[in-house]
A and B are shown apart, each in its own frame.
Chain A
């Protein structure tokens, strides 16, 4: 019996030990540093740091002005100029090009057929176009990654769709590569036709969801000549074009201007996934062979007769945005029913936000490779601007004030035209700008490397990481390097943003170190451990002792 009493007396000691350990408990996860702050340390990167070259100079021979199959192709000093063989094919049609041009492009032979000079003015007037539907950065059952990869900026691969001229051959650079071939890209290509052309556009639905074509602002009858759907809206016309099926739409536009086309199936989602592009109707002129596709938008290397009469250069500027949650829906499954559910029912457009902002399919810094406006002093430049984001854009060109000549493809009375330095476009709107590079203190402040960008500030970041988004440059030729990069930049100016870790938000700005961590306080940890150990040991001793005394 007295034995038992000893154990009872020891119980308070256990409680004292517990109280002591609580009082002396060390801070395990964070604490104040005291007087001296911790040293800086290298950031933790999820993949080894890789600095990309600002310009990978793959085709320097494509920059010069040249004639391919008799088609005049103007100089394009960009880092990534458009393939001149593609341009010749797009001007002549696949039925009028040489074998060499055909072999140097990746376009199917029936993608674009031009024939019949109906009005006898020296250019073809029946244009047959075939479009396919591309998926970039989609899911694959063969690896945890995405396929084919298309980076809008270093390391950024959102799931996207695009219309594409009908292609042929491989969709990747080679069998070992996952990278999309250069012609598989965003945005959907700009389509150009001549006013009065008889245009037959066939949607060949190569994709796993139903889609349609709708021509926004482009003159077209509600029905085709045979009574078929010609507006592309499933609730007023025919069922959408199912996977593996095709439908031909007919246009004969009477009015010239900068217009749009897009898919009208589940329009909110499909449009934002990238199934939208610019559609330009050029004035009818003699000998007017227009460049039917401008893949990747940007510089037009073979402008129409009317544009050449008034302007020195022409650029198509297509602004697009991506909601990363919508983009993700095509990357997480290979069951088309599940993808459809995630995109069309689980994802909610009314709760959407925009995370990535692109000009001509790229976000800064990749816009520097193919979305520059290049100019010389005293030039007249035509800019066709389209906004297919769901938020507004407010484009500002540093050092310049341009004149708005057209709204939504309709000319503004010259007396009422406005010259200003911010051009606002709400969803689906277009403006045509006349940019004059005359150094008069109004239209231009002289030569330079002038930024141009959306002034709605979320648009100049990549998922909140700045600089990014649709930032691009207006560069004067005298300030352009041989590789098409602006020369005033510091040698290392792009090293930060041209890494795979900057937009992953793992690289501190300005090359600084991360705030460091503190060393663990071993003295208190050991003391704490000892006290806890004593308490547990003593408790076991008491329980066992009491049991023994009982028996």
Chain B
């Protein structure tokens, strides 16, 4: 803790040189923070960085406009990178309120609590990096500001082939506990039902007719 704070203090007083600094850990200023920034430490199962993948992800209220009933989301919620890639995330917040890009499930021995986070206290952007391990896995991305995940701000990052899709991602997968909506029945609904019943009855007559005639012929 002490070494982290010292390091942070160092970062704090030298904030203009952030971009030039190539350390792990946490970077904070009055605009937001990057947690567990890791541009160089390799996971145990990676011999080298396979590829540099640059991702720009935008977050805000306006991206949820295409999703009725939802309130906040990212511009793209489904990402895929090769194993052992270095992912350089530029997170852009288009709202005046706080949003996060938080990814879970990374190896705990490199990323405390298995997380990499970019948090922006308002409009603006920050770039941070993390290196993914080699196994095929789907990582959980979300904004944890109260009710943002629940009302749309959730995504996924597949490494390699991934390990399936996560639930409740807007435009991609259905919620685990879905809402129920009323069905807009008109008289056509009931006409269709009655018509089908009548057709069904005639079909039975047709079938039994065929059946009996076949058996009575010989």
Binding site for B on A (CB under 8 A): 99-100, 102-103, 108-110, 132-135, 138-144, 147-148, 166-172, 174-175, 184, 204-208, 242-246, 333-338
Contact = CB atoms under 8 A, between A and B. Distances in A.
Contact of A142 (B30, B147, B167, B179): B167
Given A99-B8, A132-B97, A244-B72, A166 B176 contact: no
Interface string B52-78: 000000001110000011111000000
Contacts of B178: 141
A140 B176 CA distance: 9
A142 B176 contact: yes
Given A99-B5, A338-B179, A108 B146 contact: no
A97 B127 CA distance: 26
B27 interface: no
Interface in B154-194: 167-168, 175-179
Nearest to A148: B146
Interface of B: 1, 4-5, 8-9, 12, 28-30, 33, 35, 60-62, 68-72, 95-98, 104, 113-115, 117, 119, 121-122, 144-151, 167-168, 175-179
Contact of B97 (A135, A170, A205, A334): A205
A213 to B, nearest CB: 15
11 contacts: A99-B12, A132-B98, A142-B149, A142-B175, A166-B121, A170-B144, A175-B104, A244-B96, A246-B96, A246-B97, A335-B69
A487 B9 CA distance: 44
A166 B97 CA distance: 9
A100 B9 CA distance: 9
Contacts of A148: 146
Q: Is the interface of B mostly helix, strand, loop or mixed?
A: loop
Given A132-B97, A245-B96, A246-B96, A109 B175 contact: no
B69 A207 contact: no
B113 A204 contact: no
Contacts of B98: 108, 132, 166-168, 204, 206
Contact of B145 (A142, A147, A171): A171
Given A171-B144, A336-B70, A141 B168 contact: yes
A172 B113 CA distance: 13
Nearest to B175: A141
* 6 A-B pairs with the lowest CB-CB distances in the bound complex, closest first: A244-B61, A141-B175, A335-B69, A208-B71, A244-B95, A141-B168
Contacts of B168: 141-142
A100 B151 contact: no
Contacts of B28: 102, 109
A135 B146 contact: yes
Given A132-B146, A208-B147, A141 B176 contact: yes
Nearest to A140: B150
Contact of B121 (A109, A135, A184, A207): A109
B185 to A, nearest CB: 19
A426 B177 CA distance: 41
B72 A243 contact: yes
A463 B146 CA distance: 27
Nearest to B168: A141
B60 A244 contact: yes
A109 B72 contact: no
B113 A143 contact: no
Contacts of A142: 149-150, 167-168, 175-177
B129 to A, nearest CB: 20
Given A166-B98, A242-B61, A334-B69, 7 more contacts: A99-B9, A132-B98, A142-B176, A206-B145, A206-B147, A245-B61, A334-B150
Contacts of B33: 168-169
A280 B70 CA distance: 37
A143 B149 CA distance: 12
B8 A141 contact: no
Contacts of B144: 170-172
A139 B150 contact: yes
B146 A207 contact: yes
B97 A108 contact: no
Nearest to B166: A142
A100 B5 contact: yes
Contacts of A246: 96-97, 122
Given A132-B146, A142-B168, A204-B96, A175 B113 contact: yes
B177 A143 contact: yes
A426 to B, nearest CB: 31
Contact of A138 (B104, B117, B147): B147
Given A99-B12, A103-B5, A208-B151, A143 B96 contact: no
A338 B168 CA distance: 17
A148 B148 CA distance: 12
Contacts of A141: 150, 167-168, 175-178
A140 B177 contact: yes
Contacts of B104: 175
Contacts of B149: 140, 142
Contacts of B9: 99
A143 B61 contact: no
Contacts of B1: 103
A336 B146 contact: no
